[in-house]
């Protein structure tokens, strides 16, 4: 309990200064590596590849050796830039790297990181946004500093240079602190300098930063998957902290007063293999196939925290389920589970709309369950901060231990999906649904809303879902591949479901849009006749999600007939013995029978994930790094 109190008070101190709803952060990947010996550049290059899902507009590396800084950078993806400049060929055992998702300054070489000072002695990489960079820049230009880029980041090396001018006896750390204290906004920064070629200094404010340590080397990164092949000893860095890295050592200090912070490394139970493709053509396909395993892991989620969370939900007078994208779809499905199993009304809300929709009414009696696999999505954190300022209770569901969401949550639960590299969320979605179902069952038990038999049956079916999903992948993928071939050039799709599978329909649509760039529309099937059906023409592909259990099966058949009457091509996701819908469908994919409707989104979404994947792959698209997207959206 003590640990939680400290972090919340620190956080409130940070946020009472009215920093919520500010313009968000730049989302990139930073990495630093300092070793006793050996070349740092190849290590940085390989680690940047593991961070490339955070942004891939440009890449750059800087190293320091023999008192000299070397910088290589260019616009484009790491593999393409490497072909031109050879990112492995920089001297020295100390270096920093950056992969960018541009906000300030176009994705051009001149705006690529690392940025250096006028003398080319100090190099900086940055993830975040420096809000007051414009005034800092004009001050520095008035002091004859020359700027070459349009970025906010470039003020940092010049501020360090200016600090050294102000006090030449200062160490790099002292000059860095002087510079950082002038910054407003968010940052994860890493700095090296030819002036002090034996350390890396880095600092964090609101953007993620984690340190990896082993015997002869130390690393800093935006995400621990970057250094996982080298070490699973990770140290989470808090806002307002700086870290001095030397080979095998790290020293944490508070930026404000320089006081030392003692923090031991945590052992991360992820294996490096979990972060590489293991022979799959894409991370997304690997992650789809990992779901039987990740669902087993999620069923091992810590019971104690499930109990704690369900106690908070049980006592709450109003519950908002807040998230973005795929995580929002898990919230939508969760709201059906909570009301159907525990008679608990909950309100799923798009995080980007929360402040506008509920910012004024959320209060001390409100409970927010924020869901985010990365734990860093700015819109979701923005909704959480707004609610926290109004004393609401914050609960968290995330896949990333140590993320900001885990820091701001009164209680959070880790969903145990392992690292998800593909930008399109797959295994994290089914894990989120499994946690929602486990919470709803616990709540139902607490509230005595279901008979023991019902509870036992549901619990048993939930335990069986990993095998169910395994059977779908093994027996249906070939069929889905044929479907993808048939519909690869379709211009538009409808995804329809009823009840809890409205959420599954939304998720199927999002997957197809985000990786295959196919326009798709999803809505509750009952809404068809209130407008969308006017779009239907012969051959128009309409995907129906049709569990056999529950009240929706009959009405869904009516909706299928409506579409069929206008010539639509019916693609149904059905239970294996559902002859009625099979007869109405042009194509169908089967899932094992006997799945309770309230759990059905988990197995029924698998064919939709596979359909989107195979259409995108047939189209030769970059499935793992779709255009215009990034894995962790840290911009509001
Ligand atoms: C889903 O495939 C997308 N990557 C995106 O919609 C994502 O779900 C959304 O950005 C939320 O991310 P989070 O779960 O990390 O908060």
pLDDT for 328 equals: 98
Task: Indicate the burial class of 278 (C-beta count within 10 angstroms; 0-12, 13-18, 19 or more).
Answer: exposed
Contacts of 360 (CB under 8 A, 6+ apart): none
> What's the pLDDT at 54?
81
pLDDT (0 to 100) of residue 18:
40
Q: What is the pLDDT of residue 212?
A: 97
Alpha-carbon distances, residue 83 vs 78, 158, 165, 282 (angstroms) = 9, 31, 39, 21
Q: What is the DSSP string of 558-620?
A: HHHHHHHHTTPEEEEEEETT-HHHHHH-SEEEEE-S---GGGTHHHHHHHHHHHHHHHHHHTT
Q: What is the pLDDT of residue 25?
A: 42
- Number of neighbours of residue 101 by Cβ within 10 angstroms: 24
3-class secondary-structure state, position 89? coil
Rounded percentage of the chain residues whose pLDDT exceeds 70: 95
Residues within a 6 A CB radius of ligand 1: 324-327, 372-374, 377, 380, 423-425, 514, 632-633
Residue 552 Cα to ligand 1 midpoint, Å, equals 28
Q: What is the pLDDT of residues 368-397, one digit of tens each?
A: 999 999 998 999 999 999 999 999 999 999
Contacts of 9 (CB under 8 A, 6+ apart): none
- The SS3 assignment for 178 reads helix
Q: What is the DSSP letter of 168?
A: T
Tokens of 100: 């960018």
pLDDT score at 14: 41
Q: What pLDDT digit, counting tens, does each position of 445-458 carry?
A: 999 988 999 999 99
Cα 263 to middle of ligand 1, angstroms: 30
Give the residue whose CA is nearest to atom 12 of ligand 1.
Answer: 372
For 260, the enclosing helix (H) or strand (E) is: strand 260-261
What is the residue-averaged pLDDT of the chain?
92
| CB contact at 8 A, 213 and 231 | yes
Which strand ranges, in their side-by-side order, compose the sheet holding 58-65?
68-75, 58-65, 94-100, 29-35, 217-221, 210-213, 233-236, 266-267
Q: For the whole prediction, is pTM greater than 0.75? A: no
Longest dimension (CA), the chain: 83
Q: How far apart are CA 269 and CA 128, in angstroms?
A: 28
The residue with greater pLDDT, 538 or 206, is: 538
510's CB contacts (< 8 A; 6+ apart) are: 325, 326, 329
Average pLDDT over residues 349-363: 96
Query: So what's the pLDDT on residue 5?
Result: 38
Query: What whole-number distance in Å separates Cα of residue 207 and Cα of residue 238?
Result: 9
Give, using CA atoms, the residue closest to atom 3 of ligand 1.
424
Phi, psi for 618 (deg, rounded to 5): -65, -30
Nearest CA to ligand 1 atom 16: 372
Residue 572: predicted pLDDT: 98
Q: What is the pLDDT of residue 267?
A: 86
Contact in structure between 507 and 426 (CB atoms under 8 Å): no
Structure-token pair, residue 178: 């002087």
Question: Is residue 27 very low, low, confident or very high in pLDDT (cuts 50, 70, 90)?
Answer: low
pLDDT over 90 percentage in the chain: 81
Q: 176: closest CA among 205, 201, 209?
A: 201
pLDDT tens-digit map of 181-225: 999 998 999 999 999 999 999 999 988 899 999 999 999 999 888
Instruction: For residues 385 and 388, give the distance between their C-alpha atoms in angstroms, rounded to a whole number.
Output: 5
How far is the C-alpha of 307 from the C-alpha of 535, rounded, in Å?
47
Q: Residue range 557-564: average pLDDT?
A: 97
CA distance 525 to 545: 10
Per DSSP, the chain holds a count of helices (H) and strands (E) of 19, 25
| Interval between CA 326 and ligand 1 midpoint (Å) | 5
- The mean pLDDT value for 322-334 works out to 98
Q: How would residue 17 be classed by pLDDT, with cut points 50, 70 and 90?
A: very low
Pocket test for ligand 1, best of 425, 426, 503, 508 (most atoms within 8 A of CB): 425
Out of 223, 225, 327, mutate this one to test ligand 1's pocket (max ligand atoms within 8 Å of CB): namely 327
Atom of ligand 1 nearest to the CA of 629: 4
Q: Residue 23 pLDDT more than 50? A: no
At residue 275, the pLDDT reads: 63
Best of 288, 402, 633 for a ligand 1 pocket test (most atoms within 8 Å of beta carbon):
633
Per-residue confidence (pLDDT) for residue 300, from 0 to 100: 80
- The whole-number average pLDDT for the span 490-514 is 98
Helix (H, G, I), strand (E, B) or coil at 139: helix
Radius of gyration of the chain (CA): 26
pLDDT of 273 reads 62
The residues with which 217 forms a beta bridge, in sequence order, are: 35
- 214: which residues sit within 8 A by CB, 6+ positions away? 230, 231, 233, 248
Residue 32 · residue 190 · CB < 8 Å: yes
- Taking residues 460-488, report their average pLDDT: 97
Decide if pLDDT at 146 tops 50. yes
Which residues lie below 8 Å from residue 142, measured CB to CB, with a gap of 6+?
none
For the annotated catalytic residues, the residue numbers are: 28, 631
Q: Which candidate, 169, 202, 208, places its Cα nearest to that of 186?
A: 208
Between the CA of 264 and the centroid of ligand 1 the distance, in Å, is 31
Residue 9 is predicted with a pLDDT of: 42
Q: What pLDDT is recorded for position 52?
A: 85
The pLDDT tens digits for 124-138 are 999 988 989 999 999
Is the pLDDT confidence value at 7 over 50? no
For the segment 397-447, what is each residue's pLDDT rounded down to a tens digit?
A: 999 877 889 989 999 999 989 888 899 999 999 999 999 999 999 999 999
Q: How far is the CA of 7 from the centre of ligand 1 (A)?
A: 26
């Amino acid at each position: 309990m003590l640990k939680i109190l400290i972090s919340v008070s620190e956080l409130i101190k940070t946020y009472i200064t009215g920093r919520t709803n500010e313009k968000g952060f730049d989302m990139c990947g930073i990495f630093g590596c300092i070793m006793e010996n050996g070349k740092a550049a190849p290590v940085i290059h390989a680690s940047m590849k593991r961070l490339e899902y955070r942004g891939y507009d440009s890449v750059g590396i800087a190293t320091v050796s023999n008192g000299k800084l070397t910088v290589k950078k260019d616009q484009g993806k790491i593999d393409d830039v490497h072909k031109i400049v050879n990112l492995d060929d920089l001297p020295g055992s100390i270096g920093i790297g950056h992969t960018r998702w541009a906000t300030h300054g176009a994705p051009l070489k001149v705006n690529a990181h690392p940025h250096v000072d006028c003398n080319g002695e100090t190099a900086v990489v940055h993830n975040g946004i420096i809000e007051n960079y414009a005034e800092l820049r004009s001050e520095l230009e008035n002091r004859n500093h020359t700027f070459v880029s349009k970025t906010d980041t470039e003020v940092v090396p010049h501020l360090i240079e200016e600090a050294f001018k102000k006090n030449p006896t200062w160490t790099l750390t002292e000059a860095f602190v002087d510079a950082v204290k002038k910054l407003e906004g968010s940052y994860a920064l890493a700095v090296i300098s030819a002036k002090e070629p034996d350390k890396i200094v880095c600092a964090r404010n609101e953007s993620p930063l984690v340190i990896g340590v082993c015997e002869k080397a130390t690393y800093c990164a935006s995400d621990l998957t970057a250094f996982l092949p080298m070490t699973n000893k990770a140290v989470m860095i808090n806002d307002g902290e700086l870290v001095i890295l030397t080979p095998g050592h790290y020293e944490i200090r508070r930026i404000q007063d320089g006081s030392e912070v003692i923090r031991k490394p945590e052992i991360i139970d992820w294996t490096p293999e979990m972060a590489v493709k293991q022979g799959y053509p894409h991370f997304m396909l690997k992650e789809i196939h990992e779901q039987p395993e990740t669902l087993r892991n999620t069923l091992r989620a810590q019971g104690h925290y499930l109990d704690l969370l369900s106690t908070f939900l049980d006592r709450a007078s109003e519950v908002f389920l807040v998230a973005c994208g795929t995580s929002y779809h898990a919230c939508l499905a969760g709201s059906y589970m909570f009301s159907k199993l525990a008679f608990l009304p909950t309100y799923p809300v798009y995080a980007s709309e929360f402040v506008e929709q509920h910012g004024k009414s959320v209060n001390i009696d409100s409970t927010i369950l924020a869901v985010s696999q990365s734990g860093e999505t700015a819109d979701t954190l923005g909704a959480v901060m707004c609610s926290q300022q109004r004393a609401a209770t914050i609960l968290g569901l995330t896949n990333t231990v140590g993320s900001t969401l885990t820091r701001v949550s009164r209680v959070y639960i880790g969903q145990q999906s392992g690292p998800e590299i593909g930008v399109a969320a797959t295994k994290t979605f089914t894990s989120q649904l499994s946690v929602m179902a486990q919470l709803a069952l616990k709540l139902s038990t607490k509230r005595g809303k279901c008979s023991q038999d019902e509870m036992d049956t549901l619990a048993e079916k939930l335990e069986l879902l990993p095998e169910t999903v395994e059977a779908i992948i093994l027996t249906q993928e070939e069929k889905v591949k044929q479907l993808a071939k048939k519909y690869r050039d379709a211009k538009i799709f409808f995804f329809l479901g009823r009840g809890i599978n409205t959420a599954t329909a939304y998720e199927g649509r999002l997957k197809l849009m985000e990786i295959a760039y196919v326009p798709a529309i999803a809505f509750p099937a009952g809404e068809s006749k209130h407008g969308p059906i006017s779009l239907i023409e012969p051959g128009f592909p309409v995907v129906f999600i049709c569990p056999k259990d529950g009240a929706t099966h009959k009405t869904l058949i009516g909706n299928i007939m409506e579409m069929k009457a206008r010539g639509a091509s019916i693609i149904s996701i059905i239970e294996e013995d559902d002859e009625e819908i099979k007869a109405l469908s042009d194509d169908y994919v089967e899932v094992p029978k006997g799945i309770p409707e309230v759990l059905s989104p988990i197995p029924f979404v698998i064919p939709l994930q596979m359909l989107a994947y195979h259409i995108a792959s047939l189209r030769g698209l970059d499935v793992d790094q779709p255009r215009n997207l990034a894995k962790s959206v840290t911009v509001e």
